[in-house]
Amino acid sequence: MKREEARERAKALVDSMTAAEVVTQLRYNAPAIDRLGIPAYNWWGEALHGVARAGQATSFPQAIGMAASFDENLISEISGVIAEEGRAKYNAYSEAGDRDIYKGLTFWSPNVNIFRDPRWGRGQETYGEDPYLSAALGCAFVKGLQGDGEYMKAAACAKHFAVHSGPEAIRHSFNAEVSRKDLWETYLPAFETLVQEAGVEAVMGAYNRLYGEPCCGSTVLQEILRGQWGFEGHFVSDCWALKDFHENHHVTKTPEESAALAMNTGCDLNCGSTYLYLYDAWQQGLISEERIREAATRLFTTRFLLGLFDETEYDEIPYTVVECPEHLALADKAAEEAIVLLKNNGILPLRKEKIRTLGVVGPNANSREALVGNYHGTATRYITPLDGLLDYLGNDVRVLYSQGCDITQNRVEALAEENDRLSEASIVAQHSDAVVVVTGLNESLEGEEGDTGNSYASGDRLDLLLPASQRELLRVLAESGKPVILCVMSGSAMDVSFAEERFDAVLQVWYPGAEGGKALARILFGEVSPSGKLPVTFYHNEDPLPDFENYDMAGRTYRYLTAAPLYPFGYGLTYGDVQVKKAELKEDFTVKAICENTGKMKTRDVIQVYVDCEDSPYKPLHPRLCGFAGTVLEPGETREVLIHLDTKTCLVVDSDGNRVSGGDRITLYVGTGQPDPRTEELTGHKSVRIAVSKK
């Protein structure tokens, strides 16, 4: 259905309502209007990496893990599965008369905020620190979720608009102040792409203020969103953000004033309770009936686009598609592509025939919680790293297991128990030919404010270190004299300097989904090559980072980092050895790269293109990502890879936030990572340079 038709039907329906009825439809838990045949609808749905909080669902890697795949087609396929399972659930719940929270077709995903600081607990929900990567993967997610049928399969929502990435503890009162350059170069591009290229149906406002205005009541942001970008969908507040107007931001004095400010500046839908005061605000003359009806028209346009009042091609999707074998296979593939090999001295892949006993140690080795991250559904089965290795090895290799330590240890009275576990871990190592130690975090240690037990930082982290109990475990294993492979399960960059110096291999596993242990086992034993690339910079420690509350990009992310990283953005090893032998820029602005796998194993790798506008005073400090494509090569195979660059590649953002020419000296770098010294040191390869002709 075209938007024009849907809007016309929506307007006619809204015109038939009384003002009092209209107001009830502007909150997330909209009640039924029986006299007009309108059923109740709850707008609140979550789907970052699978249908969330609505019972059984296929569990994909957390968003930051999906980002490590650098695979737009995979992301689109995943979100298509999410939409299908969402439809299956909606069909079944609706038939049962259940229209409660998390059971609709409007999903408040994806999160395309920039992961500017690794201490941010919610960074795991994003696609990383780079605007181009976030835009590309976010666009793929939206297109897959919304589909291309006659009706929208499900409605996506770009969040949190805008300039929002912690700290969680002060998000309800924080005022973000950024330069116009940082605003338009870093914080807005992903939202712009999702609106203009993906046609995202909804945008969610952030909790914080920007330039003094609450983001859910901002004239500046609405002028950009609807005025400059032509957004036609609906705008929703973050949950209970509107009460912050009077309780925390103090830009209004009463709930009625807060409701009026949000409505008058373009917030159509309230997740929360402040719009319960809308009718009073209207009666007090703070808002017009015309504005209220326009908000409702936008919301019902979405419902008509979803076909909620019609018969659609999705009505017969059965509940049995949820966690079906095909969907679980896709989750497996996604977990494989998410895992990043950071170090390998040659110990990997392990060989069954050379290992009689394998030690599996660590607080996340057998943790279900560490598989899923936050905003997740419920899986039928959870396969931890320990489960995955036991299933994979069967009777061929003996496995010895020790938890080693608690995931975090703050209880003095538990030190004796902790020492017992460390002793057990040491004994396991002594009796093993090699040790796989699985450490990291979980959603109780990093995540959204109010959702974690990490109350001292409200879900953020104070530093990049593993908890003290885990650091002691790593010390004990390092002294064992046995080969040690570290697997880190977390949603963010950790300081793994100790492992880089002392261990034989390091893998970043992220939160890989409910069956992630299967993929990890296959990678450890070489059934498949790792191919993930880092969507965030890994630092030696947090010392080089600016203050967490400082939103300036200077000193942040790979584009403006001044210190050498531990592991760079875009970096990741494989069991093959893919090199870009030569590259050229064709007339249609497509990079043609000739790639060869000189290694001994089949592997997927990601060819990346970075641009440096060398003589522009407005360029980022380092070359920035402008294109990428995955490719699979057999040993000895040579393949041509085409990467189409967009029209913004040779533009830069000036100090006023305008896109301007990048100058006359523009260079492209084509390789399997960044064109920086640390990447070259770690991989032994240099990127191929292409001088862009100014024809």
Which pLDDT band, with edges at 50, 70 and 90, does 695 fall under? low
- Provide the 8-state DSSP code for 270: B
3 state SS of 142:
helix
Q: Which has the closest alpha carbon to 377: 50, 655, 687, 68?
A: 50
CB 531 within 8 A of CB 630: yes
Between the alpha carbon of residue 103 and those of residues 87, 210, 235, 239, 307, the distances in Å are 9, 32, 20, 17, 16
CA 620 to chain centre: 23
Q: State yes or no: pLDDT of 416 exceeds 70.
A: no
Catalytic residue among 185, 418, 443, 446: 446
Q: CA angle 49-51-54, nearest 5°? A: 140
Closest to 154 measured CA to CA, from 334, 319, 314, 321 = 314
Q: What is the pLDDT of residue 417?
A: 66
Percent of residues, the chain, with pLDDT higher than 90: 96
pLDDT band at residue 687 using 50, 70 and 90 as cut-offs: very high
- Residue 336 is predicted with a pLDDT of 98
DSSP state of 185: I
The predicted-structure confidence for 382-391, as pLDDT tens digits, reads as follows 999 999 999 9
Residue-wise pLDDT tens digits, 583-634: 999 999 999 999 999 999 999 999 999 999 999 999 999 999 999 999 999 9
Domains of the chain, CATH where assigned: 1-39+156-305 (3.20.20.300), 42-102+115-150+325-536 (3.40.50.1700), 578-691 (2.60.40.10)
Dmax (CA) for the chain in angstroms is 79
C-alpha to C-alpha distance for 390 and 517, rounded to whole angstroms: 10
Contact 250, 219 (CB under 8 A): no
pTM of the model: 0.98
β-pair type (213-214, 202-205): unpaired
Q: State the alpha helices, DSSP H only, in 339-454.
A: 369-372, 385-393, 415-430
Give the SS3 label for residue 631. Answer: strand
Place of tokens 């976010």: 138
**H helix or E strand, kind and range, residue 448:** none
pLDDT at 413 over 60: no
Bridge partners (DSSP) listed for residue 624: 611
pLDDT band at residue 642, thresholds of 50, 70 and 90?
very high
The amino acid present at 303, given as its one-letter code, is R
Sort strands 434-440 and 357-361 into parallel, antiparallel or unpaired: parallel
**Mean pLDDT value across the chain:** 97
| C-alpha torsion 91→92→94→100, nearest 10 | -110
The answer to whether the beta carbons of residues 499 and 542 sit under 8 Å apart is: no
The pLDDT score that the predictor gives to residue 411 is: 52
* Rounded mean pLDDT, 281-296: 98
Side chain identity at 150, as an amino acid letter? E
Quick one: average pLDDT of 179-193? 98
Q: How far apart are CA 695 and CA 300, in angstroms?
A: 49
Q: What angle do CA 228, 229, 235 make, to 5 degrees?
A: 110
Structure tokens at 477: 């294993």
Q: Identify the burial level of 324 via C-beta atoms within 10 angstroms of its C-beta, where 0-12 means exposed, 13-18 middle and 19 or more buried.
A: middle
Query: In the beta sheet, which residues pair with residue 33?
Result: 38
Distance from C-alpha of 83 to C-alpha of 201, rounded to nearest angstrom: 14
For the segment 31-57, what is each residue's pLDDT rounded down to a tens digit?
999 999 999 999 999 999 999 999 999
CB 225 within 8 A of CB 235: yes
The token pair that represents 561 in the structure block: 């980092």
User: How sure is the predictor about 522, in pLDDT bands with cuts at 50, 70 and 90?
Assistant: very high
- Does the pLDDT of residue 415 top 80, yes or no? no
Instruction: Give the up-direction half-sphere exposure of residue 454: CA atoms within 13 A in the CB hemisphere.
Output: 27
Per-residue pLDDT tens digits for 459-494: 999 999 999 999 999 999 999 999 999 999 999 999
Is-catalytic flag, 446?
yes
Return d(Cα 608, Cα 234) in angstroms, integer: 35
Confidence band, pLDDT 50/70/90 cuts, at residue 409 = low
Residues 97-124 pLDDT 10s = 999 999 999 999 999 999 999 999 999 9
Check residue 56 and report its DSSP letter.
B
Q: Is pLDDT above 80 for 235?
A: yes
Choose the catalytic residue: 238, 449, 460, 612: 238
Using CA atoms, how far apart are residues 75 and 142, in angstroms rounded to an integer? 9
Q: How far is CA 32 from the centre of its chain?
A: 34
> Left if phi > 0, otherwise alpha if psi is -120 to 50, otherwise beta: which for 399?
beta
DSSP string covering 98-132: ---TT-SSB----B------TT-GGGGGS--S-HH
Tokens at 549, concatenated: 């509350």
The model's pLDDT over 353-400, given as tens digits with 9 standing for 90+, comes to 999 999 999 999 999 999 999 999 999 999 999 999 999 999 999 999
Contact 593, 645 (CB under 8 A): no
Task: Render pLDDT for 305-328 as a digit per residue (tens, 0 to 9).
Answer: 999 999 999 999 999 999 999 999
* 146 sits in which H/E element: helix 131-146
Secondary structure class of 308 (helix, strand, coil): coil
- 3-state class (DSSP) for residue 409: coil
